Structure 1
Amino acid sequence: MRYEIPLEQGAYQRMTVTLSERVITLRLRWLHQYGFYAIDILEGGDPITLGRGLHPGINLLAGLNTGLGTLMLEGRQPTLDNLGRRNRLIYEEPADD
């Protein structure tokens, strides 16, 4: 199953989502110096990954052995002006084995 995680414009956002029946916190922050968003992904307050660049076509969960599936931005490179408008954060559950 695939679904979209809503994004809003702004330099910082924090949201709690349920991915594969696990409660996950996502923190996005705009890095003014570098001109892109970084994302932290946490579970129960413990980091799964911190500071990954939020770029289109990159699986944010790749190489982490979480069993969570795929979390990927689709669309244009996010900016302060287009986050959640010209791109979408998509979660896809892991395939059943």
Structure 2
Amino acid sequence: MADTKDEELKARKERERDELYALDISGAEWHSAPGTEEHEERVEIAYLPEGAVAMRSSLDPDTVLRYTEAEWRAFVLGARDGEFDLEPGPRDGGLAAE
């Protein structure tokens, strides 16, 4: 029974992903953090139907990641909780990301 539920969940998630990537977002309005300049590298997001979100880098606008509402909510909450904070390391001079 658990295997059947896992398979159903996987199939549902695949359908959601396929539907999300099938959306035409050519007219999407992209947003970035306030205070960033056009020439600066920045993360841009666009709000899609049903709470979904698209995300891209300003330096590579043709590569777009798309997230369902649940995935985006989980990411934002995790970021707020510090789950994605960078640890100091030798490559960044030992400074934590700000």
> Which interval holds the TM-score relative to the shorter structure?
0.3 to 0.5
State the TM-score, normalizing by the size of structure 1: 0.34
* Greater helix share, structure number: 2
State the TM-score, normalizing by the size of structure 2: 0.34
Rg comparison, structure with higher value = 2
